[in-house]
Chains A and B, each alone.
Chain A
Amino acid sequence: MAEIQQSGGEAKKGKPKKQLLRVDFTPMVDMNMLLITFFMFCTTLSKPQVMDIAMPADEKITRDEDRPDVKDSQTITLILGENDTVFYYDGAPKFDDYTSLKVTNYSPEGLRAYLLQRNQFIVDEMRELRKEKLENKRMTDEEFKQRSKEIKDNKAHRKVVIIKPTDESNYKNLVDALDEMQICSIDVYAIAGMTEGDRFLLNNYATRGEYGKNAVQPKK
């Protein structure tokens, strides 16, 4: 690729030829650009995201503290089942009515639609806030965070979600469920273990109420 140019048309005899050496750098630039692209993707795309969760230190203590100021109408219980199914019920479990337990999946039309509808008040307020932030360029991130925290802390309207993964569910189900909390602006949620009552509900649902007629109902 190097090009040697001779200056002047006819070289005079006896005089040493003056040579201009020029190297074409185009392929080198091409290669460098390629490498730059590679490294750029490496640095920005390889960085994984994280989702922060906190587990209760001791389940019993936190539950007793939580119980008094959470109304039944504000709680939602999700039971993560096998094959990407999710069961949910509102408030306290109803052992005599198997239809109180609903089944859905993790699609936007399934679990998300339900949670959005249940958490309508806060979702609407959050939507307003985001809109405001988009229009008002002066709103700082801190202010946005502060205000979204205030909205989500609304004791009268906030929802409390208890996530109960069964042994048949997988890690993706758990992350999906936690993700829905973030999408649906639900700030108070907990991961808890399956109880006897939950298993009763599942069995009751599977047999369409037959199981509940014969088995002893667990204590609430």
Chain B
Amino acid sequence: MGKVKAKKQNTFIDMTAMSDVTVLLLTFFMLTATFLPKEPVQVLTPASVSEVKVPEYNTMTILITPKGQVFLNLDRPDIKVAVLDSMGRDYGMTFTDRQKRAFIEDSHIGVPMGQMSVYLNKHQMSRNDDIRQMGIPTDSINNQLARWVTYARRASGKEMRIAIKSDQITPYPLVSGVIKTLVELKENRYSLITTLRAMPSGL
């Protein structure tokens, strides 16, 4: 009596092709991903129904923390150097190539000009710690923010957009102070950075 033996089948799926596809996709997403610059102080932006995306290129972002520190981010390295040079001329400073490289490395500008030279000589790690305690002076006698904005506008032309990013709990006078500075410089159009929330239904 010969029993019919069930054939033992090997269920081995070849994953090589699948792996090829995923690696390809992964490469694509890695190359297209643009990482946001690391901010010295984390801010939680308010929500809005606006669906306009932040412009990709040529944007100046002004970051206002709840404590009133002001940081500036310029997304073009060439502009950053040009602006630093102009600022240096105003304050009678020249910067070495090494200092300029350090300046480009930092995502945000947020150091009073008086301390800029010493600050840029430091190592990156200690710079990151230092910038958290500082900010661009915005008071009326020593309004360095106005100078930074003026030079940034001069260097990058009319197309540069200004974005304002601030925390939900930032008191209004601090925001209004920065806006007043900008209005004095005839900069009247800004984009307020917000997170998306859904449009209420039925409208």
Contacts and interface: CB of A to CB of B under 8 A. Distances in A.
Interface string B43-81: 001111111111100000000100000000000000000
A167 B173 contact: yes
Given A29-B18, A170-B168, A174-B172, A39 B48 contact: no
B33 interface: yes
A42 B168 CA distance: 23
Interface in B3-29: 12-16, 18-19, 22-23, 25-26, 29
A46 B36 contact: yes
Interface string A173-206: 1111011001101000000010000000000000
Interface in B138-167: 163, 165-167
B188 A55 contact: yes
A49 B46 contact: no
Contacts, number: 162
A52 B190 contact: yes
A171 B52 contact: no
Contacts of B32: 43
A180 to B, nearest CB: 9
Interface stretch (A30-38, A89-97, A145-153, A208-216): A30-38
Given A80-B172, A166-B172, A52 B193 contact: no
A56 B189 CA distance: 9
Contacts of B172: 80, 165-171, 173-174
A172 interface: yes
Nearest to A55: B188
A56 B190 CA distance: 12
A22 B183 CA distance: 68
A50 B50 contact: yes
Nearest to B199: A183
Nearest to B197: A179
Contacts of A167: 171-173
Chain B, interface SS category: mixed
A39 to B, nearest CB: 4
Contact of B194 (A3, A51, A185): A51
A152 B176 CA distance: 28
B30 A49 contact: no
B33 A126 contact: no
A39 B183 contact: no
Nearest to A112: B200
A179 B48 contact: yes
A10 interface: no
A40 to B, nearest CB: 6
Given A47-B54, A50-B194, A178-B192, A22 B173 contact: no
B182 to A, nearest CB: 8
Contact of B15 (A25, A35, A175, A185): A25
B104 interface: no
A172 B188 contact: no
A123 B192 contact: no
Given A35-B26, A50-B193, 10 more contacts: A32-B22, A32-B23, A39-B26, A42-B29, A43-B33, A48-B54, A51-B194, A171-B46, A179-B48, A183-B203
30 contacts: A24-B12, A25-B16, A36-B26, A42-B29, A42-B35, A48-B54, A49-B194, A50-B194, A51-B191, A51-B192, A51-B194, A52-B191, A52-B192, A54-B188, A56-B188, A57-B186, A80-B172, A166-B172, A169-B171, A170-B169, A171-B64, A171-B168, A171-B169, A172-B46, A175-B47, A175-B48, A176-B46, A179-B194, A182-B50, A183-B199
